[in-house]
Amino acid sequence: MRLEHHYTTIAHKQSVRFLLLILAVKVQAASITILPALDGFTSFTATAMSSNGSVVVGVSGDTAVRWTKETGTKSLFSSPGGSIAIGVSSDGSHIVGSYGTPKTAFEWTESQGPQPFDPKVCCANAVSADGTVVVGTTAGSSVGQAYRFVFGSGSLILASLGKYAQANDVSADGSVVVGAYQPIFGTSDSRAFLWTVAEGMVPLGTLPGAPGPFSIANGISADGKVIVGTTDSSIGQQGFRWTAKTGMQGLGQLPDSITTATAVSDNGKYIVGYAQVGGKQDYRAWIWDATNGMRYITNILSAEGVNLTGVSLVSAVGVSDDGLTIAGYGGRDGTGAAWLATLGSVPPLPVATPEPASFQALALGVIGLGWLIRRRA
Pick the CATH number of 20-347+355-376 from 3.90.1300.10, 2.120.10.30, 3.30.70.600, 3.40.50.300: 2.120.10.30
Q: CA 151, CA 300: separation in Å to the nearest integer?
A: 42
Give the predicted TM-score (pTM) of the model: 0.84
> Listing from the earlier edge strand, what are the strands of the sheet with 31-35?
31-35, 335-342, 325-332, 311-319
Q: Minimal CA–CA distance to 14: which of 3, 6, 376, 26?
A: 6
How confident is the model over 274-311, as pLDDT tens digits?
A: 999 998 889 999 999 999 999 999 999 999 999 999 99
Domain residue spans in the chain? 20-347+355-376
How confident is the model over 318-355, as pLDDT tens digits?
A: 999 999 999 999 999 989 999 999 999 744 433 333 33
How confident is the model over 160-200, as pLDDT tens digits?
A: 777 789 999 999 999 999 999 998 776 678 999 999 999 99
Q: Minimal CA–CA distance to 33: which of 331, 343, 326, 339?
A: 339
